[in-house]
Amino acid sequence: MAKSTKKTTETPDATDPAHAGMVAAMAAFSPVATTAWFDMMQESMRFVTERLEKDLEAQRAMLACRTPQELMQAQSDFMQKAFTDYTEETRRMMELMGVALRVDIRDTAPTTRRNFDDVPV
C-alpha cells in the first residue's frame, strides 16, 4: 500500500505555547517593534485580499471581451490599477515603518543632558 506524500501545512495556532512564547519574546524585546510588525502584517493581509479580488474582477473582464481591442484595453486598465495599488501600498508600508522608527528612536535616543540623579548629596 502506497503512503501519501501529501504534506499538510498548518497555520500557527495562537494558543500554541511555541507561538505564544515567540510573541512574548518579541514584545519583551521591543513593544514598539512588535506593534509595528502586527500593523504591517495586518496591512499586508488587507492589501493581498483586496488585490486578489481585483485580479478576479480583471479576469472576468478579460473573459467577457469580444474583440482584441477590448482585451488590450482590459489588460491595460488592469496593469494601470495594479501599478497604482502597489505604489500606494509601498507608501503605506513605508509610512508604517516610519512611525515605528520615529517612536523607537525617540524612546532610545541618547541625551547629553544630565538628570543629576547620580550626584551624591
Question: pLDDT of 64-78, one tens digit each?
Answer: 999 999 999 999 999
Closest CA relative to residue 39, chosen from 85, 103, 108: 103
Cell of 38: 502586527
Taking the C-alpha atoms of residue 34 and residue 56, their distance in angstroms, rounded to an integer, is 33
What is the torsional sign of CA 32, 37, 42, 46?
positive
Query: How confident is the model over 37-67, as pLDDT tens digits?
Result: 888 999 999 999 999 999 999 999 999 999 9
pLDDT recorded at residue 50: 97
Domain ranges in the chain are 30-105
Residue 107: band (very low, low, confident or very high) from pLDDT cuts 50, 70, 90:
low
Mean of pLDDT over the chain? 79
More confident residue, 17 or 40: 40
Element (H or E) spanning 88, and its range? helix 68-108
